[in-house]
Chains A and B, each alone.
Chain A
Amino acid sequence: MSQSDAAFSHKSFFGQLKKYYFFYTLGFLGFVIALAVAEQMGMSRKWIGYWFLFATIGLYAAIGIMSRTVDAAEYYVAGRRVPAFFNGMATGADWMSAASFIGMAGTLYLSGFDGLAFVMGWTGGYCLVAFLLAPYLRKFGQFTIPDFLGERYGGNIVRSIGIFAAILVSFTYVVAQIYGVGLITSRFTGLEFGVGVFVGLGGILVCSFLGGMRAVTWTQVAQYLILIIAYLTPVIWLSLKHTGNPIPQIAYGQVLQKVTEREKVLTVDPKEIEVRGILKGRADAANAALKDPAAAYAKGRADVEKKFADVKASNAPAEQIAAAEKAVAAYPKDEAAAKAQWNKDKGLAARAAPPRPHATPFHGAGKTEEEKQKASDIARRNFLGIVFCMMIGTAALPHILMRYYTTPSVRQARQSVFWSLFFIFLLYFTAPALAVLAKYDIYHFLVGSSFASLPAWAATWAAVDPTLLSITDFNKDGIVQLAEIVIGGDIIVLATPEIAGLPYVVSGLVAAGGLAAALSTADGLLLTIANALSHDLYYKMIDPHASTTKRVTVSKILLVVVALAAAYVTSLKPGDILFLVGAAFSLAASAFFPALVLGVFWKRANKWGAISGMIAGLAVCMYYMFTTYPFFGGVPANQWFNMTPITAGVFGVPIGMATLIVVSLLTPAPSRQVQELVEHVRYPNLTGDITTQAT
């Protein structure tokens, strides 16, 4: 194809895409409106949930089928024809996972300012992608990240470490996504968690299995549009309701002031103090009892029995006797049961603190000023540590970097990072506003309402899922106090439509958006793992003469195997999603970042430097997690400088980078050929240039 032909075809392709996705968006809005009408006419909530679930998954599958391919360049990098604008949208969907869509606003609600570390980290990292990696990787123009490492540093050792790290990182991350898929499907359709996982998995597989990167790209664009509509609609409505201003990002400054005022009131409110006192008392009693459980158990038993005998003997009113009898019956059957109860009560201490001031950075709790200062310093260190790890991790996640191989040119790769961040920004910019608006609603309308007439949304959610919302009347005054509410972060996004007083169809839309976020990320991750195995391991290292069809077939088979393995691990529920996600970022940052960036910016970096740097970074990071995270048997006492396990990259990245530099300087400089490769990636176009582009 001559250059002018190529120019013409790219332009018309872009025009066509714009048309398709415009009509697609209209069609989707029409679908939502039709369901809204159906709801008014009496369609049940369950059916609205099913419609959203099956219509959207069906849609993604249809795009997957239309984009099926066996051509290697199409399968691995979507034929390198994805315009910057659409690659930006696809990256946005690839990037924003269930954790961003559902978890982010909840984290901000619960941890206030300190949660903003994730907002900053997950956007600012794109600066590093833009300035240090995307254009150079695009010029290099192969299929995977281990491809670049293998070519730049030479030899299969570097490539193998790259494969190992890519799989480790992506697998950790994909488990969190599949977990999210199961959660959303089961919650909105009433299907079982396990069934939900496999329905979602079906949606993921049809797409990536048939068409690889090509199908995943065009599906992700579709998914981005759904997820952003779903996220913004209820927040705009909520903002309009509370402030009369439809732009939540501007309006919530006023709301934040009101929340801060309200926090001050609630901190000194006598009823609140009473409830906090009750909670504290229970926690203290539990702590005391746990010191000598056997004696405490016997004494407690004797106490309730004595009380019962006393009221009976004193001819007290019937209800008092009944209550005392109930207390005897409710007393734990044995010491083990009592111990379990005390251990649970111990946790109440955490709820006995006054509300955390939302806008105050690094809030430190403690008895003395000195303790507070110390806690605050640790919080500040961890805040910046999380920002650092999330940013560097962003610039090292293979499934994101891979997307910049798919644009038609270096020029468009640069533009594409801009569009990526822009589309991601739309959501991350809104999440802090949502957290504050929801807090306003809860602090003003839920707190102070009577237990007999809770706001409708609170009554519904407390009944459906006590892990998301539970309210207990500790001081028996019939009024809700803030300290009596326990909130699971996920409810903030899930319940916003109801808090804002929108019809159920919007709740269905939000579920569809969360599903789109989880599915699109899982798609990208599974593809990364399958490609690392089929392209890097099988084709580049085991059978370099394999035909294109064979390579793509191997990749497809592996995709199914990896997906099933991930679903199996997910069904074991390996715990905390936030930890899994954070761990993936720290691991990626430590393993890849130094080798990738120095590979472009420092010609002297060589094979041995890269090998030892990557191993050192990864090893330090994994060692730190193993010794400090309880799931692996670690204890917080092993922490260095009180840094939490997810900030392991703070140690891994600098050590990896220093090792790479020192070892490179101690060993011979790379060959002339490698230096030419570096020059090649630095210039978008050179006369007499070498070619590295894979087809």
Chain B
Amino acid sequence: MQLTQKHEEYWRKNLIVTGILLTIWFVVTFVGGWYSKELNSISILGFPLGFYNAAQGSLIIYVALIWFYQHYMNKLDIEYGVNEGEDE
């Protein structure tokens, strides 16, 4: 099995999108978590922001990240011709 240039490009794009999404994940979780005390001085929807991020905000972002990933990758598969046969 020989991988073509197109295949290499597909994988590179996959790595880039994975990297970006993981960076957002990391910032929301660990940077946001580390500065929770400082964030608490800001108020959002009646919540202190640090608390809101840990209890709700980060969860919403996780769901959104995964939705974006599946949407992007499933389109990328078709674009690069590595998609499977129709399964639905």
Nearest A residue (CB) for B58 = A120
Instruction: Digitize A252-276: 1 where CB-to-B-CB distance is under 8 Å, 0 elsewhere.
Output: 0110110000000000000000000
**Does residue A422 face the partner (Cβ distance < 8 Å to B)?**
yes
A354 close to chain B: CB less than 8 A: no
- Residue of A11, A257, A411, A417 touching B74 (CB-CB under 8 A): A411
Interfacial residues of chain A within 1-25, with CB under 8 A of chain B in the complex = 3-4, 6-7, 10-11, 14
Residues of A within 8 A of B (CB): 3-4, 6-7, 10-11, 14, 113, 116-117, 119-120, 123-124, 126-127, 130-132, 135, 249-250, 253-254, 256-257, 359-362, 376, 380, 383-384, 387-388, 391, 408-412, 414-415, 417-418, 421-422, 425, 428-429, 432, 676, 679-680, 682-686, 688-690
The list of the 9 closest CB pairs from A to B, nearest first, reads A253-B46, A361-B36, A414-B70, A432-B55, A116-B54, A409-B87, A3-B85, A359-B51, A130-B66
Contact of A131 with B62 in the complex, beta carbons under 8 Å: no
Interface pair B62/A421, CB less than 8 Å apart: yes
Asked whether, in the complex, the Cβ of A684 is within 8 Å of the Cβ of B86, the reply is no
- State how many residues of chain B have any CB contact under 8 Å with chain A: 47
A47 CA to B76 CA, complexed, in Å: 56
Asked if residues A432 and B56 are in contact (CB atoms below 8 Å), the reply is yes
Q: Look across to chain B and name the residue whose beta carbon is closest to the beta carbon of A376.
A: B37
Contact between chains at A127 and B66 (CB < 8 Å): yes
Contact A688 B33, CB 8 Å, known A3-B85, A123-B59, A253-B46: no
What is the bound-complex CA distance between A408 and B47, given in angstroms?
42
Task: Tell whether, in the assembled complex, residue B59 and residue A415 are in contact, meaning their CB atoms are under 8 Å apart.
Answer: no
Nearest residue, chain B, Cβ from A260: B48
- Is the Cβ of A384 less than 8 Å from the Cβ of B33? yes
Contact of A120 among B33, B65, B83, B87 (CB under 8 A): B33
Whether A683 pairs with B82 at a CB distance below 8 angstroms is yes
Say yes or no: B62 contacts A123, CB within 8 Å.
yes
Taking a contact as CB atoms under 8 Å apart, the answer to whether A411 and B54 are in contact is no
Question: Could you pull out 6 A-B pairs where Cβ atoms are within 8 angstroms?
Answer: A131-B21, A253-B47, A257-B46, A376-B37, A685-B84, A686-B1
10 new A-B contacts, CB < 8 A, other than A10-B87, A14-B88, A361-B50, are A120-B59, A126-B62, A127-B22, A253-B46, A254-B46, A256-B46, A414-B73, A414-B74, A418-B66, A683-B82
Closest to A113 in B: B51
Within 8 Å by CB of B87, from A123, A253, A408, A422, lies: A408
Complex interface: chain B residues within 8 A of A683 (CB): 7, 10-11, 82
A91 to chain B, nearest CB (A): 12
Give residues of chain B (37-56) contacting chain A, Cβ–Cβ below 8 Å. Answer: 37, 40, 45-48, 50-52, 54-56
Alpha-carbon gap, A254 to B43, bound state (A): 12
Between B73, B82, B88, the greatest number of chain A beta carbons within 10 A of the residue's beta carbon is seen for B88
Q: How far is the CA of A376 from the CA of B56 in the complex (A)?
A: 23
**Given contacts A411-B74, A679-B1, A249 and B87 within 8 Å (CB-CB):** no
Contact between chains at A253 and B77 (CB < 8 Å) = no
Instruction: Report B-chain residues with C-beta under 8 Å of the C-beta of A690.
Output: 1
Distance of A688 Cα from B7 Cα, bound (Å): 13
Q: Which residue of A lies closest to B33 (CB)?
A: A384
In the bound complex, do residue B69 and residue A130 qualify as a contact, i.e. CB atoms below 8 Å apart? yes
Compute how far the CA of A257 lies from the CA of B87 in the bound complex, rounded to whole angstroms.
50
- Distance in angstroms from A601 CB to nearest chain B CB is 8
Say whether B62 contacts A415, CB under 8 Å: no
Q: Once the chains are docked, how many angstroms separate the CA of A417 from the CA of B56?
A: 19
The CA-CA distance from A362 to B39 in the complex, in Å, is: 13
